[in-house]
Each structure stands twice: as C-alpha cells, then as structure tokens.
Structure 1
Amino acid sequence: MMIVLGPNRYGKAETRLVRVTRHGDAHSLKDLNVSTALSGDMERVHLSGDNAAVLPTDSQKNTVFAFAKRYGVGAIEDFALTLAQHFVDSQEPVRHARVAIEEYAWERNGALGHAFVRSGRETRVCVAHYDGSRAWVVSGLRDLVVLNTTNSEFWGYVRDEYTTLPETRDRVLATAVEASWRHTAAGEDGDGGDWDKTYEKARQALLAAFADTYSLSLQQTLYAMGSRVLTECPGVCEVRLSLPNRHHFEVDLSPFGLANDGEVYHAADRPYGLIEGAVLRDDAPDPGPAWQ
C-alpha cells in the first residue's frame, strides 16, 4: 500500500476589509470579508516541512489591504479576479487561486456624505478562480428573506405510516434565499462587464419569480426562480439555489373561543425543510472548479 498526498490548498480566511473612498465631503464605503486559497506545487511542505514554495497567509492578508489602496474596490468580482490573478502570476509554485468575498451593504444616513447605517439587505457574495490561463466566476447572495402570505399550496404528497402533516390549499410560504449564479466566462456577464448591473438584475429576477409564482411546492418555486434569472441575465449559464422552508403554522385558537382564518401563525425556525437544486442552460459549458 502507498500513501500519497491528495488535493490541498491553503490561504487566509476572512480578512475583514473596509475601504473608504473620499470624494470631497461625499464618501463611499465598501465592507468586505475576503478569503484566499492557493494550491499548486506544495508537495514538499506537506511531506518534509520545506516552506520554500509557501507564500505566508499573512502576506495574502497584506495583499488584500494593499490592493484595496492601490486599485480601489469596485465590484467584488473584479477585486476577487485581480487578487486571484496576482497570486498565480506572481508566485511560480502557485497553479490555482480561489478568492471568495462577502459584501455587507451600508446606506447613507441622512444628507451628510460621511454618515452611514448598516443596510438590512442580503449579503452579496462571489467566488473567483484563476489557473494561469482561465478564470471562472460565480456570483450570488445569501439571506434574502422573502414571504408570500397566500398563493401557495402543498398536497398530493406521499403518505406513509409516519405522515401526520395535513394537506393545505392555502399557506404562508417563506424562505431565506441562498443563490449562486455561474457566469459563462469571467468578464462576460451579459451587461458589458458590469457585474453590479447583472447582480441587480439577478436579484430582481429572484424576487419577481418568488412573488409571481403560484406555488404548489417550494421545488416548483425554485425552478421558476432559477429560470427567471437565466432569462433576464444572458451571461449567466447556471443558477444554484438553497431554499430553507421557513414554516408558518396556523395557531389553534379554538380553546379561547376564537376562529383563526389565516391570520395568526407560529413561525418555527427548526427543524425546517431544505430544498436545493440547480437550473442551467442545456448548452452550459463545463464548470471547471467554479463551484468548489
């Protein structure tokens, strides 16, 4: 029997970066969480502890800060690609770089250009990969909380000896959307390289599909949401969705002599149903490492 080294990578996780851009009295703010991971010719460090091929994770952290100053921070996809390409092109042992970024939204607080309040919006995310010749980009979001108070049913499902759930022809449907969409090629987002525009179009497509779909199952809604993103965003070739079913149960008010006509609910946070799936174009290119 032989023992060999398998796939591996290393990097700096969750570098917290806040970049303030000052235009006179009007400031703008970018609040990011950046994680880098490098792989390549790393056998010696694992097998013998030889660090000659290792770029310290502290150096990776410092690069994030230096690049934020040198190049600024626009769309997180551009920043992630710039970092990934730098690590591969500047370090001969590095064959592949993965950069993942979370962006936390802030809004202006009043008329002053320097005052901000943390937005209640979802978290924007992206992952960029670069291997020296090709780049892959996946954009997305987390914690986009949505709810329909009607136009949702659930019935006709399998029943066995453990089934107690009653069928319903009218229910509250709620979820916290986690969505990722893969671009056909890095920089080809279908909107002339405008990652921000594609993000807003994808976000609006998700919201519209959730609101507009008369849902017989959360699976049906998932497919409608992914399909709407692909229709609205020509540079996107695949959408992956994770939708926890945030159950809302009508409260039995009969002990109090009260009728409950779909007005009072108990919101249960766990356990919850978790619906996941991918929707893609039939000619979508091979994803490479994009989802890793």
Structure 2
Amino acid sequence: MAIILGEQQYGKAESRVVRIYRDGPRHEIRDLNVSTAMRGPFDPAHLIGDQSNVLPTDTQKNTAFAFAKSHGIDSIEHYGLELARHFVRDIEPVDGARIEIEEFAWERAVVDGVPHDHTWMRAGREIRTAAVTVDATGEYVIGGFKDLVILKSTGSEFAGFLKDEYTTLQETKDRVMATSLVAKWRFASSDVDWNAVYPEVKAIMVREFATVQSLALQQTLWHMGKAVIEQIPSIVEVRLTAPNKHHFVVDLAPFGLENHGEVFIAADRPYGLIEAQVLRDDAPAAHDAWRASAGLA
C-alpha cells in the first residue's frame, strides 16, 4: 500500500476589497469579499516543505487590491476573470486559478429627499456571487446569489407524500412557502454582459417562485432553473439550494380563537434542505468549474 497526495490548492480567503470611485461629485462604491486559490505543481510544499513554487497568499491578497485600482470593478465576474488570467498567465508555476467573490450591496442615503452623493447604507438584500476558474482547459464563470429570502403566503401545497410508522406531518393544500435561496449559474463563455444578466436571472427566479402553483419546493426549483436556461441562452447550467423555512400554524384553540392560516410560528431548525441541478443536455463540459476553494461563491 502507498499513501499519495491527492488534489491540493492554496490561496488567500476573504480579502475585503472596497473600491470607491471618486471621478466626480457623486461617488460610487463596490464592496467585495475576494478569495483566491492557486492550482499547480505544489506537491513539494506539502511533501517536503519546499516553497520555491509557492506564491505567498499575502501576494495574492495584494494583487486583489491592486487590480481593484488598475482594472476597476465594472462587474465581479470581469474583475474575477482579470485576476484569474493574471495568475495563470504571469505566475510561472500556476496552471489553474480559482477566484470566488461575494458582493455586498449599498444604497444611497437620502438627505432632505435627495440621494446623497457620498453616503450609503448597507442594503438588506441578497449577496451577489461569482466564481471564476481559469486553467488549461479554458475559462469558466459561475454567477450567482445567496441569502435571497423569499416567501409567499399561499400557492403552495404538500400532499401525497410517502408515509411510514414515524410520519406525523399532515398533508396540506395551502401553506406558506419560504426559503433563503442560493442560486448559481454557469455560462457557456466569458463573453457576457454580466451586469445585465444578473438582474434578469433574479427576476425570472422570483417570477417562477411567485407564480408556480407549487406541489413541492422541488417542483418550484425545477421551474426556476428551466426558465432561466430557456430565456438566457448564455447560461447552460443552474444549481439551486433551498432550505425550507418552515412556517407552522399556531393552535389558538386554547385561547378560544380560530386560526385560518393567519398566525404562524417560524421555525429556524431543523429544516428541509432541497437541492437541484438543471442543465442543457448539450452543455459544454464543466471540468473544474464547480471545484470550490473557500466555498463562498
């Protein structure tokens, strides 16, 4: 029997990069959490402690900040591609790079009814994400978001499920359906209007969540992924993760009150966790596009 070293990578996780544009009286802000990972012939670092091929993670951090200035941040996908291309093209031992990015949204503060030029408040919406992989097989971009908390008060059922001696859940034809959605979508190429596609994908998913008469959260995820691929040709694969944020009707009978689906207890755990992959049958190979580093995007 031999013991061998398997897959390995290394990098700098969660560099908080804030870029403020001061080109005029009205400033703009981009707020990112950037993780980098290098892939290549780094086995000696593990096996004998030889660092001669290792670009320090501190250098990777510095590069992320420098590129925020020199290349700007028009979109997180484009910024990630520029970083990954640099590491693979310009750093000799590196043959693959993975860049994962979270973007935190800010909205302008309103002062005396007017949006302020240089003051913002953190927006409480979802976190936009991007994961970029560049290696010998090509360039791969995965857009996405996480923590999109969405709820509808009707239009959802759950009945006809398998039962055994431990089943206590009652069937229902009308329930609250809520989730904190994580969505990721893989593009067929890197020639995309990233900032135009993102709101379009989000709008499609919200529409399907709202309008599908859902017999199960699984069915809703299928409709969401399918609609995105049908309507946006540049996207070839969608992966969805949806924790079922359960809302249970409270028994108010002890207090002499009827509860016709009006008062609920929101249970944070345990929760059902529903996951689905939807893709075109002719989608190009993903190779290492889904191989995570920090796992934040």
Is this a same-fold pair by TM over 0.5?
A: yes
Secondary structure (helix, strand or coil) at the match of 2:95 reads strand
Secondary structure (helix, strand or coil) at the match of 1:94 reads coil
Give the Cα separation in 1 of the matches to 2:43 and 2:263.
Answer: 61
- Specify the alignment match of 1:159 in structure 2: 163
- Specify the alignment match of 1:43 in structure 2: 43
Question: Over aligned residues, Cα RMSD in angstroms?
Answer: 0.9
**Matched residue type, 1:96:** G
The gaps in structure 1 that reach 5 residues or longer are 188-192
- Superposition deviation, residue 3 in structure 1: 2.2
- Specify the alignment match of 2:211 in structure 1: 212
- Specify the alignment match of 2:259 in structure 1: 260
- Superposition deviation, residue 234 in structure 1: 1.0
CA contact (8 A) 1:252 1:260 kept: yes
Cα deviation 1:205-262 (Å, max 9, x = unaligned): 1100000100010110010111111122110001000011110001000000000011
The count of residues paired between Structure 1 and Structure 2 equals: 287
Within 5 Å, which residues of 2 pair with 1:52-63?
52-63=52-63
Within 5 Å, which residues of 2 pair with 1:133-172?
134-172=138-176
CA contact (8 A) 1:136 1:186 kept: yes
**Matched residue type, 1:204:** A
- Superposition deviation, residue 132 in structure 1: 4.4
- Specify the alignment match of 1:247 in structure 2: 246
CA contact (8 A) 1:241 1:278 kept: yes
**In percent, how many aligned pairs have the same letter?**
53
42-51 or 149-158, larger mean C-alpha shift = 42-51
Give the Cα separation in 1 of the matches to 2:65 and 2:137.
Answer: 25
- Superposition deviation, residue 69 in structure 1: 1.0
Give the Cα separation in 2 of the matches to 1:105 and 1:183.
Answer: 23
Give the Cα separation in 2 of the matches to 1:133 and 1:26.
Answer: 42
Secondary structure (helix, strand or coil) at the match of 2:36 reads strand
**Matched residue type, 1:106:** W
- Superposition deviation, residue 109 in structure 1: 0.8
The gaps in structure 2 that reach 5 residues or longer are 292-297
- Specify the alignment match of 1:34 in structure 2: 34
CA contact (8 A) 1:145 1:177 kept: yes
Give the Cα separation in 2 of the matches to 1:280 and 1:2.
Answer: 39
**Matched residue type, 1:157:** F
Give the Cα separation in 2 of the matches to 1:257 and 1:14.
Answer: 53
Q: Which runs of 4+ in 1 moved over 4 A?
A: none
- Superposition deviation, residue 23 in structure 1: 2.6
Give the Cα separation in 2 of the matches to 1:146 and 1:2.
Answer: 51
Report the TM-score when normalising by structure 2: 0.95
CA contact (8 A) 1:89 1:132 kept: no
- Specify the alignment match of 1:24 in structure 2: 24
